[in-house]
């Protein structure tokens, strides 16, 4: 990519409502722009980060035999009435009617739609297990959208659903998802922990949350020395205490703030019972299917990763989700033919080595370009000016260090691919 056809929308100022670092940096670095409360458009750089995260999720879910589908975001009310969540879900469910006065909602989660889908196609234990996921926009009319994409009203979630003939099959699948999630968060290079959680209005009898540890997190976690533990709701019930301080006093557990980036649930037969999703077993009995559901907040991960990885100059992307691996910054390329042609050569060489790169070919000062790319947070910076063009070298700077090194192009490729 060249900046001349991959626009960079960096800006200096941030609105006063941007309280946390990730929200400020996402606006400054030109990743997102606000449309209305809790709704954001994703600009080219931001979208590349989302796609990197999605690639990791897809790969790990495919590895456990989960296939991708896509369901409509507008859902008919009848299904929510069948599951009895039309009333239970409350004002977070955005409801409306169509021209025929039929009631609909904008999907905040998809248990109803998928249960309805599966029950129409599956009737025998022989067709199970089934594991499906989608990555799509969800809408929740949050009472207090804040922190940018961290608590948005419209956001991208990966939601997976599994269907089984028995509790033990569900138990096995649940463990598979848990280990896929561990792989995902490890590959995304996040500092995270898994806690016991309550099932909220999704339901079921066992659930775990995945949290990125960060001071700006909205959730209270109670953790032991190995960072295992539970969220506050569970701790209150478990230790029969009604506040954080008294639980800490009673248990000696450590309190940390977390950003919930994933949540997995054993739903059991909650939806299959209400929506009559039945199968015939091996011994010809008719039973309700056993279900699990597994969510990941894709867009929330972007903010969580920034909360954990930034400094006073901007974002410092973990290698695996950086929008680009390398940025090439040319100095006065528009005025100097040698610089332009040497930069273009490096650009092509990196392409041949399958290294993703962006080439800043703008007519702008070196200082401004450097500021922009430190803000955007690409981990490897390549600088090309008169000297480098003459010596057929590049100057390398890591986003993290201050040192600048004039090196050969082969050494650059080694540095990046190591």
Binding residues for ligand ATP, per CB under 6 A?
109, 140, 142, 151-152, 155, 157, 200, 202, 260-263, 295, 297, 299-300
Which of residues 263 and 357 has its CB atom nearest to Mg ion in the complex?
Answer: 263
158 binds Mg ion (CB under 5 A): no
Nearest residue to Mg ion by CB is 263
d(CA 338, CA 386): 7
CA dihedral 414, 63, 132, 57 (to 10 degrees): -20
Choose from ligand ATP, Mg ion, none: what does 151 bind? Cβ within 5-8 Å by kind: ligand ATP
Q: Which helix (H) or strand (E) segment is 50 a member of? A: helix 44-63
Return the residue of 211, 263, 300, 399 that touches Mg ion, per CB under 5 A.
263
Choose from ligand ATP, Mg ion, none: what does 262 bind? Cβ within 5-8 Å by kind: ligand ATP
CB of 25 to ligand ATP, least distance (A): 17
Chain centre distance of CA 113: 23
d(CA 207, CA 158): 17
Choose from ligand ATP, Mg ion, none: what does 300 bind? Cβ within 5-8 Å by kind: ligand ATP
Choose from ligand ATP, Mg ion, none: what does 297 bind? Cβ within 5-8 Å by kind: ligand ATP
Helices (H) and strands (E) in the chain, counts: 14, 23
Which of residues 261 and 275 has its CB atom nearest to ligand ATP in the complex?
Answer: 261
Specify the stretch interacting with Mg ion by CB under 5 A; choose among 63-71, 165-173, 210-218, 260-268.
Answer: 260-268
Nearest residue to ligand ATP by CB is 297
Strands 286-288 and 229-231: unpaired
Which of residues 87 and 121 has its CB atom nearest to ligand ATP in the complex?
Answer: 87
Whether the CA torsion 115, 119, 120, 126 is positive or negative: it is positive
Nearest to 304 by CA among 185, 404, 223, 396: 185
Which of residues 27 and 194 has its CB atom nearest to Mg ion in the complex?
Answer: 194
CB of 295 to Mg ion, least distance (A): 7
Question: What 3-state DSSP class applies to 183?
Answer: helix
Which of residues 262 and 314 has its CB atom nearest to Mg ion in the complex?
Answer: 262
Task: Using alpha carbons, list the distances in angstroms from residue 327 to 136, 320, 323, 341, 402.
Answer: 30, 15, 10, 16, 16
Binding site for Mg ion (CB under 5 A): 263
């Amino acid at each position: 990519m060249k900046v001349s056809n991959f626009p960079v929308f960096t800006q200096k100022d941030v609105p006063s409502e941007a309280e946390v670092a990730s929200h400020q940096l996402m606006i400054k670095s030109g990743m997102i722009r606000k449309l209305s409360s809790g709704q954001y458009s994703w600009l080219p750089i931001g979208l590349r980060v989302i796609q990197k995260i999605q690639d990791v999720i897809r790969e790990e879910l495919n590895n456990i035999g989960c296939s991708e589908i896509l369901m409509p975001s507008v859902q008919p009310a009848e299904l929510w009435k069948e599951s009895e969540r039309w009333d239970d879900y409350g004002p977070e469910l955005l409801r409306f009617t169509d021209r025929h006065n039929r009631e609909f909602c904008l999907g905040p989660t998809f248990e109803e739609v998928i249960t309805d889908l599966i029950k129409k196609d599956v009737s025998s234990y022989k067709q199970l297990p089934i594991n499906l996921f989608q990555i799509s926009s969800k809408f929740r009319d949050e009472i207090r959208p804040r922190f940018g994409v961290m608590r948005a009203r419209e956001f991208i979630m990966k939601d997976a659903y599994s269907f089984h003939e028995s509790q033990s099959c569900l138990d096995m699948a649940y463990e598979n998802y848990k280990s896929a999630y561990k792989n995902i968060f490890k590959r995304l290079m996040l500092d995270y922990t898994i806690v016991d959680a309550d099932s909220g209005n999704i339901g079921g009898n066992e659930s775990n949350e995945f949290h990125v540890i960060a001071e700006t997190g909205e959730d209270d976690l109670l953790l032991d020395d190995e960072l295992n533990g539970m969220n506050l709701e569970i701790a209150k019930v478990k230790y029969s205490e009604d506040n954080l301080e008294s639980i800490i006093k009673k248990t000696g557990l450590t309190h940390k703030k977390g950003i919930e980036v994933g949540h997995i649930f054993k739903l059991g037969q909650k939806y299959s019972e209400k929506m009559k999703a039945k199968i015939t077993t091996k011994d010809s009995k008719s039973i309700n299917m056993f279900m699990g559901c597994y969510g990941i907040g894709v867009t929330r991960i972007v903010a969580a990763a920034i909360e954990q990885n930034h400094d006073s100059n901007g974002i410092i992307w973990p290698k695996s989700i950086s929008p680009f691996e390398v940025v090439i910054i040319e100095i006065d390329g528009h005025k100097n033919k040698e610089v332009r042609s040497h930069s273009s050569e490096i650009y092509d060489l990196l392409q041949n080595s399958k290294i993703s790169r962006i080439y800043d070919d703008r007519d702008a000062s070196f200082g401004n370009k450097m500021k922009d790319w430190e803000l955007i947070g690409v981990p490897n910076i390549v600088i090309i000016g008169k000297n480098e063009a003459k010596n057929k070298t590049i100057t390398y700077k890591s986003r993290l260090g201050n040192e600048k090194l004039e090196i050969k192009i082969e050494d650059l490729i080694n540095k990046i691919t190591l």
